[in-house]
Amino acid sequence: MHFADVPGQNPAKAALVAAVESGRLPHALLLLGPEGCGGLPTGLAFAQYLFCTARTGGDSCGRCPDCTKAAALEHPDLHLSFPALKPGPTKAALSRNHLPEFRQFVRETPFGTTSDWMTHITSEGKRGNISVDEMREIIETLSLKSYEGGRKVLVLWRPEYLGKEGNALLKLIEEPPPDTVLLLVAEATEGILPTILSRLQTVRLAPIPVEELTQLLAEKHGAEPARAAAVAAMAEGSYSAAVSLLNHHDADRFATFRAWMLAVFTGRGVQLATTAEELGKEGREGTRAFLDYAVHLLEHTVRHRAAPALPTALPADETRFVSDLARNTVSTQTLARMAEAMGKTAYLVDRNANIKIQLHALGIRLVRLLQGRTTSNA
Ligand SMILES: [Zn+2]
């Protein structure tokens, strides 16, 4: 993958290239950015840049043997680590067991989320992890000489999945083998041990600008310009969210959302249970996409209330809903808390919680939030 294949992230790309050019590349970097903004592709493009023997114009050449091998994720000095599944009750989760699937996943959906990756390798809604055995293997492998005589690069996708095993990584960062670059690609710092964080040089990745996302949806996914713009505005800089929004029939999603909100605003328990039941049928990925969509609409409402004159770039039905809700007496703080509760549920749904129970509990929580503060209009 070239840097040119990764939309947005120009400041990050420039910083990475400058670090290499100046000969002051830190041996351990944290690429930190929100889901769907392209952390993994940026890390892989940078790895290819490091291997390339004919770099040009701040990017890899894409033609030299090192580029070809890196692009196929088959370079012998490119080491990959990512959430994996235990092949059996007594066997450790190891990335290398999933390498062919991972290559296919990156080839087909380079902007895929970790949840997409899990769906790619299992239909059972399991959550992967990065095991201590994996860390031991990596430390051993990286302590050996490189195959091709140059650098060794480790791209570790989602160090948040290491948990307490992060201590093993600490050893690697503190005593780096020679000519080794560690690239950790994370979405949040919360799940990473502070001792590790303090030893990493952080490169921040930004949400993809709306204009760039609009262009991608039109050019690579054949979306009509108006629809591409509307979806890009909804996706908050996430390529994966944009594609998921594009692939789902908005009319259905909006109708479900409106019915659900009606049940929440009127506090109808039976209706809440029915909607949770209906939504639950969408499965983990569908529910996650629905909750992301609901959070976006509430965020648009808060923004619309602050600046009603600004166009929302949403489809007509959603625009009407957002401006009606913005005029409602529910406080901005309550709307923000509702969005936060939905985001929390999306997180739990991602992590293997029972979908229907979570959705029902969320509905009840939203009703309580509303009943607590429906009178003030902050
Ligand atoms: Zn090259």
What is the mean pLDDT, run by run of 10 residues, along the chain of 378 residues?
94 97 95 96 98 96 97 97 91 95 95 90 81 92 91 96 84 89 95 90 96 94 87 87 76 83 88 85 82 89 85 76 90 93 90 86 92 51
**Residue 149 region by backbone torsions, left for phi larger than 0, else alpha for psi between -120 and 50, else beta:** left
- Between the CA of 66 and the centroid of ligand 1 the distance, in Å, is 6
Distance 57 CA to ligand 1 centre (A): 12
What pLDDT is recorded for position 377? 38
Alpha-carbon distance 166 to 196, whole Å?
8
Alpha-carbon gap, residue 217 to 325, rounded angstroms:
29
Burial class (CB in 10 A: 0-12, 13-18, 19+), 254: middle
What's the 9 CA to ligand 1 centre distance in angstroms? Answer: 21
Q: Which residues contact 295 (CB under 8 A, 6 or more apart)?
A: 339, 342, 343, 346
Neighbours of ion ligand 1 (CB under 5 A): 52, 54, 60-61, 64, 67
CA distance 277 to 248: 19
Output the CA 5–ligand 1 centroid distance in Å: 14
Q: How far is the CA of 43 from the centre of ligand 1 (A)?
A: 16
Å from CA of 116 to ligand 1 middle: 30
How many CA atoms lie less than 13 Å away from 255 in the CB half-sphere? Answer: 6
- 44 Cα: distance to centroid of ligand 1 (angstroms): 13
Q: Taking the alpha carbons of 170, 348, 369, 260 in that order, is the dihedral positive or negative? A: positive
Cα Dmax for the chain: 69
Q: Which tokens in the block code for residue 166?
A: 């992060």
Q: What is the DSSP letter of 177?
A: P
Ligand 1 centroid–CA 12 distance in Å is 20
CA atoms within 13 A on the CB side of 37: 23
Cα 167 to Cα 17: distance, rounded to the nearest angstrom: 30
